[in-house]
């Protein structure tokens, strides 16, 4: 048994949870803030047999990995037109910091 | 020293905390949601000497173990009488998912 | 790689986070309550190379260690004058409960 702690961005949270459940992993979400990633993050706690650790890591990577996203420009409604950027902007989203911890005992009561 | 992480139902939380304190265990509650158990859960973090791990597990089991509870029927006040169930319904409550982790260093400052 | 879990008082939280960041540590804060310390606490999760564990512990100690603080008396504005204490009162603040856990795998996606 291993315990996987994954700190991910909030916006990837629902997608990751769904992918984990579809693959028969069970996860608990802990409220967390800042630090490893920019603010607005969630810590997943996933308990799994050692043989399935690689699969869990693969799912986390697929659903949370760092990528650059183009964001369409927003019209300066009543804002300062000087700061208006008339072309798409690249924004970094996603990312996951993951720890796999050894477990000495596992129980379900 | 060991670190026990126990994911339990919210409704068992106060009872467990009281039982732990009466037995001189010290616990911290982390806000958590969904996954191991149906939504509405709490994660207890309990640090303890190795020799007392069994006692802590026993307390968690006694206060959080899975059981089936009969819930009295509720009269359909202004509701759909077709969905009224005139006999007690069995509902699953409780349950705990518990990990015991090795600790390399423990400090109190 | 090691994972440091530090339960500290809320009021030391911002100071600790700033000191960790200044020293290039990365931390995630988990919402937590009661138990190890009086209520109102925060759990820091700090992942670090083994060689920097001692430095992290030193920073936690410097910013969160238990100390006694003198609190100036507050005038009984519309309160019960009988309970008014006309001299400074010693209040315990701070304190940290710290676990260092082994990590088997560490990934950043
Ligand atoms: Ni990038
Ligand atoms: Ni049952
Ligand atoms: Ni003192």
Query: What ligand is nearest to the CA atom of residue C90?
Result: 3
From first CA to last CA, the distance across chain A in angstroms is 16
Who among B3, B28, B31 is closest to C101 (CB)? B3
The answer to whether residue A47 neighbours chain B at the CB level (below 8 Å) is yes
CATH number, domain A2-75+85-102, options 3.40.50.970, 3.30.70.260, 3.40.50.300, 3.30.70.120: 3.30.70.120
Give the model confidence (pLDDT) of C49-70 as tens digits: 999 999 999 999 999 988 777 7
CB–CB of C29 and A35 under 8 A? yes
* Residue whose structure tokens are 């208006």: A84
- Binned at pLDDT 50, 70 and 90, residue B78 comes out as low
Was domain B2-74+85-102 assigned CATH 3.40.50.1000? no
Give the model confidence (pLDDT) of B28-62 as tens digits: 988 776 555 455 788 999 999 999 999 999 999 99
The answer to whether residue C24 neighbours chain A at the CB level (below 8 Å) is no
CB burial of residue B66 (10 Å; 0-12, 13-18, 19+):
middle
Report ipTM for this prediction: 0.80
Distance, CA of C102 to CA of C28 (rounded, Å): 17
Give the model confidence (pLDDT) of A35-81 as tens digits: 554 557 889 999 999 999 999 999 999 999 888 777 776 655 555 56
The answer to whether residue B106 neighbours chain C at the CB level (below 8 Å) is yes
Q: What percent of chain B has pLDDT over 90?
A: 53
Query: What is the pLDDT, as a whole number, of residue B67?
Result: 79
- Nearest 10 degrees: CA dihedral of B7, B10, B15, B16? 10
Average pLDDT of the residues in B64-87: 69
Query: Between these two residues, C18 and C82, which has the higher pLDDT value?
Result: C18
Query: What ligand is nearest to the CA atom of residue C67?
Result: 3
DSSP C40-58: SEEEEEEEE-GGGHHHHHH
Distance, CA of C23 to CA of C20 (rounded, Å): 5
Query: What is the pLDDT, as a whole number, of residue A87?
Result: 77
**A71-92 per-residue burial string, b: 16 or more CB within 10 A, e: under 16:** eeeeeeeeeeeeeeeeeeeeee
Closest CA–CA distance from residue B29 to any residue of chain C (Å): 5
* H-helix or E-strand spanning residue A69: strand A67-71
The answer on pLDDT for C82 being more than 70 is no
CATH number, domain C2-72+85-102, options 3.30.70.120, 2.60.120.260, 3.30.420.40, 3.40.50.2020: 3.30.70.120
Domain layout of chain B by residue ranges: 2-74+85-102
Query: What is the pLDDT, as a whole number, of residue A80?
Result: 59
Query: Between these two residues, B87 and A15, which has the higher pLDDT value?
Result: A15
């Amino acid at each position: 048994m291993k315990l996987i702690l994954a700190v991910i961005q909030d916006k990837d949270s629902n997608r990751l949870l769904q992918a984990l459940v579809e693959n028969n992993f069970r996860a608990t979400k802990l409220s967390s803030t800042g630090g490893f990633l920019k603010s607005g993050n969630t810590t997943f706690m996933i308990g799994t047999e050692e043989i399935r650790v690689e699969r869990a890591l693969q799912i986390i990577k697929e659903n949370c990995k760092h990528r650059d996203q183009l964001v369409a420009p927003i019209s300066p409604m009543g804002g300062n037109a000087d700061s208006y950027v008339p072309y798409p902007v690249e924004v970094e989203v996603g990312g996951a910091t993951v720890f796999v911890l050894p477990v000495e005992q596992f129980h379900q009561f």
